[in-house]
Amino acid sequence: MSVFRIPTGIIEDIHSMIINFYWGQRGTKRRAHWVRREEMVCAKEGGMGFWDLNGFNAALLAKQLWRLYQQSSSLVARIMQAKYYKNSSVLEATTGYQPSFLWRSLISAQDLLCEGLRWRVGDG
């Protein structure tokens, strides 16, 4: 989940399995549904606190992009830079021509990462 974008259909199936575990049938007897499905994946203040797997997947992908940005001298970062963003940083990179599924997955979280970045003045 931290390297590849999980398709929406698979995430919906996982959410359905979680919901069926809590609100599903036991034999022929159905259980009562106490809250709507949308409320189960809300934050704990308004829902039951189950993770939204789409958001979690995007956050993990953004974390990998941040690692590529911060640790630009690592072997993985140098390979990705040589293949996908030769003359720019990972924050300005584009999808490019015939990208791998890994790169398309990482680029899908680029907007999320750029949205959360802040400039901070330090002492260095």
Cβ count within 10 A of residue 4: 15
* 71 and 86 in a common domain: yes
- pTM for the model: 0.79
Domain range spanning residue 108?
A: 54-116
SS3 content of the chain, % helix, strand, coil (to 5): 50, 5, 45
State residue 49's pLDDT score: 66
Minimum mean pLDDT among 17-21, 36-40, 64-68, 82-86: which range?
Answer: 36-40
Q: Is 121 part of a structural domain of the chain?
A: no
Q: Is 2 part of a structural domain of the chain?
A: no
What pLDDT digit, counting tens, does each position of 7-46 carry? Answer: 999 998 988 887 777 777 666 777 776 667 667 666 666 5
Question: How many Å apart are CA 80 and CA 66, to the nearest integer?
Answer: 13
* 106 and 62 in a common domain: yes
Q: How many Cα atoms sit within 13 Å of 124 on the Cβ side? A: 1
State residue 84's pLDDT score: 92
* 46 and 70 in a common domain: no
